[in-house]
């Protein structure tokens, strides 16, 4: 196995032959074998260990074992303890997910502190198979069926091509010692149930089951690479980037497999409600689907993808027009007496100061608001005005209005003055009101 391991390093991780790495060691057989393989090849590495305090004295014995292993072989040892049970009491995550997040955060922080770019874990082929079965049982797409990747950024997995049986044979033939995790023998976790009950049944049906799985994973990875390449090509024709939002052109989308493209493109933004996402292609403007981090909504001939932002609640009285009025350091309203009407600037309006009644109110637009748009006859609902001016559903919710003391809307900020406050020929006192957005 040592020769195979060295050959695999040269082929997939040539930089590990010369550069220092952090080896994550639990004390179990997999990470202990990785430890001795790296040691046998005289590679430069340090060891990191997490103690999650989940198995009482056993957890501390695991830590002592790894510490002694490093001391005997003159390898630097770093460890950190976590009270996972206490964290679990205040979290909706599973114990395994909490431990996973803590583990990788610790490894990443240690990597930064030590300025070591590579973090080695002892995941092997059987781990990849277990993950495959879990993912397929949950309805995963192709990415979830391509196995554990050999690397993710800093994380490298130099044992991922090796079967568990080979790792066990190496440990026994070299008389290695390791720690047994008693929890692995129980069926408390889904992964254990798959490892202990399901995979052995497949192996009874097909003696080369693990080897054949390795071939299948290779084919799936090749197919996935081709698909991702095609998706990247389609993005150039289907997407338009506009600041923090992305527009998907529906006409162009309908010329390809729209559902496949939307799935591959949107899944990275946390979307899971695929049926309603696919319906957006044929829906009316304003329809939307939310993920935890983004919103996708139909706007005329496009689907718009945008990060979810909390709409600021604005409800401020203005009594003084002598000083700028700031709103949460995001924008300000300035008042300035003038003798000329401001033109060609949508962020400045000139009003008849004598028509103002204080206090003025700056607030969010509400359904049912109406005003008399300057340059138009009669009144109009603010919502209809915004829609007619191509303001999409999401931006409409962020609209702000300046309201007079008698509850008449003076200005739809940045859009249109109310005709009732406009300057006439007999107006004697003029006031400029300016909206300034802060960067």
Q: Tens digit of pLDDT for each residue in 142-180?
A: 888 998 999 999 999 999 999 999 999 999 999 999 998
* Rounded Cα gap, residues 217 and 130, in angstroms: 12
Q: What is the pLDDT of residues 383-412, one digit of tens each?
A: 999 989 988 776 787 899 999 999 999 999
Q: What is the pLDDT of residues 280-316, one digit of tens each?
A: 999 988 898 988 889 999 988 999 999 887 677 888 8
Nearest to 341 by CA among 353, 331, 333: 353
Alpha-helix residue ranges (DSSP H) falling in 41-124: 57-72, 84-88, 95-114
- The pLDDT of 376-381, averaged and rounded, is 94
Nearest to 343 by CA among 439, 437, 426, 422: 422
> Locate tokens 């393989």: which residue?
37
pLDDT band at 415; cut points 50, 70, 90 = very high
Top pLDDT among 184 and 27 is at 27
* Rounded Cα gap, residues 193 and 428, in angstroms: 84
- pLDDT for res 91: 82
Nearest to 122 by CA among 98, 138, 103, 140: 103
Structural domain 315-437, CATH architecture: 3-Layer(bba) Sandwich (3.50)
- pLDDT for res 329: 66
In the CATH hierarchy, which fold is given to the domain comprising 219-307? 3.30.465
Q: Classify 9 as helix, strand or coil.
A: helix
| Contact between 148 and 160 (Cβ < 8 Å) | yes
Enumerate residues 6+ apart whose C-beta is below 8 A from 362: 314, 315, 316, 318, 325, 327, 333, 400, 401, 402, 403
Q: Which long-range contacts (CB under 8 A, 24 or more apart) does 255-258 make?
A: none
* Rounded Cα gap, residues 38 and 170, in angstroms: 13
- pLDDT for res 401: 94
- pLDDT for res 176: 96
Q: Classify 388 as helix, strand or coil.
A: helix
Phi and psi at 163, nearest 5°, equal: -75, 155
pLDDT band at 438; cut points 50, 70, 90 = low
Which pair of structure tokens corresponds to residue 241? Answer: 């980037």
Which pair of structure tokens corresponds to residue 101? Answer: 């997040």
Enumerate residues 6+ apart whose C-beta is below 8 A from 354: 427, 428, 429
- The pLDDT of 6-34, averaged and rounded, is 95
Distances (CA, A) of 290 to 15, 139, 309, 429: 42, 20, 12, 49
- pLDDT for res 268: 86
Q: What is the pLDDT of residues 323-364, one digit of tens each?
A: 777 776 677 888 999 999 988 888 999 999 999 999 999 999
Q: Classify 262 as helix, strand or coil.
A: helix
Enumerate residues 6+ apart whose C-beta is below 8 A from 168: 29
Enumerate residues 6+ apart whose C-beta is below 8 A from 439: none
Pick the CATH number of 2-205 from 3.40.50.620, 3.90.180.10, 3.50.50.60, 3.30.1490.190: 3.40.50.620
Which helix H or strand E contains 238, and what residues bound it?
helix 209-238
* Rounded Cα gap, residues 228 and 345, in angstroms: 46
Do the strands 370-371 and 380-381 form a parallel or antiparallel pair, or are they unpaired?
antiparallel
* Rounded Cα gap, residues 58 and 53, in angstroms: 8
Strand partners, 290: 295
* Rounded Cα gap, residues 214 and 160, in angstroms: 10
- The pLDDT of 120-149, averaged and rounded, is 91
For residue 296, give the DSSP letter: E
- pLDDT for res 323: 73
Top pLDDT among 345 and 46 is at 46
Nearest to 384 by CA among 368, 395, 400, 398: 368
How high is the mean pLDDT of the chain?
91
- The pLDDT of 219-239, averaged and rounded, is 92
pLDDT over 60 (residue 54): yes
The ranges assigned to domains in the chain are: 2-205, 219-307, 315-437
- pLDDT for res 381: 95
Strand partners, 418: 373
Instruction: State what percent of residues in the chain have pLDDT above 70.
Output: 98
- The pLDDT of 32-37, averaged and rounded, is 97
């Amino acid at each position: 196995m040592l020769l195979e391991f060295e050959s695999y390093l040269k082929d997939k991780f040539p930089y590990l032959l010369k550069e220092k790495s952090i080896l994550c060691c639990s004390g179990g057989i997999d990470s202990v074998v990785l430890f001795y393989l790296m040691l046998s090849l005289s590679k430069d590495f340090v060891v990191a260990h997490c103690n999650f305090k989940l198995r009482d004295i056993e957890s501390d014995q695991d830590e002592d074992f790894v510490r002694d292993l490093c001391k005997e072989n003159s390898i630097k040892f770093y460890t950190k303890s976590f009270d996972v049970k206490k964290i679990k009491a205040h979290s909706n995550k599973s114990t395994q997910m909490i431990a996973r997040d803590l583990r990788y955060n610790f490894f990443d922080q240690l990597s930064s502190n030590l300025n070591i770019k590579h973090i080695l874990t002892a995941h092997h082929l059987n781990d990849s198979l277990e993950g495959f079965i879990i993912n397929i049982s949950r309805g995963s797409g192709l990415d979830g069926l391509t196995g554990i990747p050999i690397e993710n950024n800093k994380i490298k997995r130099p044992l991922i091509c090796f079967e568990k049986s080979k790792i066990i044979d190496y440990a026994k033939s070299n008389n290695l010692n390791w720690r047994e995790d008693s929890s692995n023998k129980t069926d408390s976790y889904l992964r254990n149930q798959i490892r202990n009950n399901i995979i052995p049944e497949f192996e009874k049906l097909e003696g080369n089951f693990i080897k054949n799985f390795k071939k299948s994973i290779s084919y799936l990875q090749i197919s996935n690479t081709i698909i991702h390449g095609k998706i990247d090509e389609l993005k150039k024709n289907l997407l338009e980037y506009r600041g923090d939002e992305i527009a998907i052109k529906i006409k162009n989308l309908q010329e390809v497999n729209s559902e496949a493209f939307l799935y591959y493109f949107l899944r990275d933004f946390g979307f899971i409600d695929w049926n309603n996402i696919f319906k957006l292609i044929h829906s009316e403007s304003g329809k939307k689907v939310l993920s935890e981090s983004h919103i996708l909504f139909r706007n005329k001939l496009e689907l718009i993808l945008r990060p979810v932002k909390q709409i600021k609640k604005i409800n401020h009285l203005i009594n003084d027009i002598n000083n700028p009025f700031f709103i949460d350091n995001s924008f300000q309203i300035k008042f300035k007496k003038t003798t000329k009407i401001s033109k060609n600037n949508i962020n400045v309006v000139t009003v008849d100061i004598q028509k103002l009644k204080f206090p003025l109110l700056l607030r969010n637009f509400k359904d049912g608001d109406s005003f008399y748009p300057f340059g138009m006859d009669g009144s109009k609902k603010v919502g209809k005005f915004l829609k007619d001016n191509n303001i999409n559903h999401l931006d409409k919710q962020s609209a702000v209005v300046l309201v007079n003391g008698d509850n008449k809307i003076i200005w739809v900020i940045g859009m249109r003055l109310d005709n009732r406050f406009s300057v006439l020929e007999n107006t004697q006192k003029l006031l400029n009101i300016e909206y300034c957005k802060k960067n």
